Amino acid sequence: MKERSKKPKATRPISLILTLLGLGVAGWYGNRFTHQEMNRSPAQTSALGVQDHHEVIQKYWNYRQKLFERFIHLKGGPGDGMVASQRDGGEAVFSDATVVLGWYLATLGTELDLLKRLGKPTASNLLEISHVLDAQDRLTALGNQMDGIPGSDTGYFFRDDVDRSIIGKLPGTTTVRSDFLSSSEDPANWGFLNQMSQDQAINMLLGYRMLAMSLDEKDSHAGKNLRTQMEKQVERIVRHLRGKGDWQIRFPGTRGRGSKTRRGPDARAFSEALADIGQAILGKEAWKSKMKEIKPAWFSVPAFELMRVRGVPYPFWTQAMILILGSTGDVWGKSARKTLGNFARRTGLILYPLLHAYVHDSKLKLKGGFLGMKDNGISQTDFMELMKSAPAQGPNGSDKTQWCGPQRFYKSRHYWTCPVQYKEGDYWHFENEEFPGFDYMFFHNLYLLHYNPEGIQSYGPTPGYEAALKAAQ
């Protein structure tokens, strides 16, 4: 599953030209020093003791417990397996829910890998994976029914299906907001707020890519093969992203007459990475037999080449998609570690070097240099300090450090303005808001998988988590 696809030859001259043009505009100020290896065994990490790792692992399972106490239900019907992006007292908000669902899958996939490596029980993890995959099937069926032809099975999906019935299922909830409700209650804008979009699909593929690293053909729940279910979802999503060969998202059937959605513009610049990730998940042979017509567009490199040139002013949502695709795909080749390391040092978005190292089974090269004089400013201790800084009760608006919002690895810390209230686009966030914390959980799992530190054996489901999971069903 870790096989890498080769770049189409036609893209290489364009890639080179764009790179040279970008360098001429932005200036060649990349790091040209030789880096030294940073992947160390537990015996070489004496600066980080067992207690440090016990602390962050305990925090992880506290977050997992709180997830079922505040953000998700598994009681069947609309919203089952969907995660609230935030809680504000009694209000549960489901916004960009399939982005959140992708990060949930990424957390579950890396958790499953850890549990298997440590010989710990996996039944609860597989139960959660089953509910998330069922939720995606439900969103696909609903999207095709409402915006297409009932019973069709394209890769088009809605962002959520959360209605007000969730009030009686999610503890402490008195009101609910969701893209589904906003869309259905605004006839003039029907479907817009709940449409499938590139970032929703790419974040789901992030989750699938992590799941593919650990989920095997023997993993099932209630007699259902989870690997088969996941692969079917990946096939149909990638097919739908391809569109009519132009990599644009369209409505699935009669409602839009095959017209393009308002939230799925030209993604040809991403197409090589999208195809690479799909092939990595399905495997080379299955890809050849089932998806042989899915070819990257000839115009499929610029976004990734220009990311090498620091200073290109991408909007943060585009930057996030490039980082996810570039880390989990193979578009940067041997220069990926340097590209991601430089970017992480500049922005503080240090998840992505770890993500790339895990997916490609490689070592981090982030710190060191000629005679030790060049320091990229990121080390294992830095990773630990970031995890230890996360609030024990989970990311929230009252946090006085950096954890005052959801999915903080989307944006440079320079974008956050903690602690009291801050504006994110058109949205204001306040002190009493809570967030599920998948950014911490996913990052934490990647850290443990990469470093295999002292104290890792304490990782495993806790009684509090198991009780909360049972109560959520």
Is residue 6 domain-resident? no
Into how many domains does the chain fold? 1
Torsion over CA: 97, 103, 105, 108 (sign): negative
Is residue 3 domain-resident? no
144 within 8 A of 245, measured Cβ to Cβ = no
Task: State residue 148's pLDDT score.
Answer: 63
Indicate if the pLDDT at residue 267 is higher than 70: yes
CA Rg, the chain, in Å? 22
Q: What percentage of the chain carries pLDDT values higher than 90?
A: 52
Indicate if the pLDDT at residue 34 is higher than 60: no
pLDDT, tens only, 353-392: 899 999 998 777 555 444 443 445 578 888 899 899 999 9
Residue type for position 430:
F
Q: Which domain holds residue 85?
A: 11-471
- Tally of CA atoms within 13 A in the half-sphere of 236 that contains its CB: 18
Task: State residue 255's pLDDT score.
Answer: 54
Is residue 4 domain-resident? no
Task: State residue 254's pLDDT score.
Answer: 55
Is residue 5 domain-resident? no
| Higher pLDDT pick, 333 / 111 | 111
Is residue 465 domain-resident? yes
Average pLDDT in the 241-245 region? Answer: 90
Is residue 1 domain-resident? no
Is residue 408 domain-resident? yes
Is residue 448 domain-resident? yes
Lowest-pLDDT range, 128-142, 276-290, 393-407? 393-407
pLDDT, tens only, 52-102: 999 999 999 999 999 999 999 999 999 999 999 999 999 999 999 999 999
Task: State residue 113's pLDDT score.
Answer: 98
Indicate if the pLDDT at residue 420 is higher than 60: no
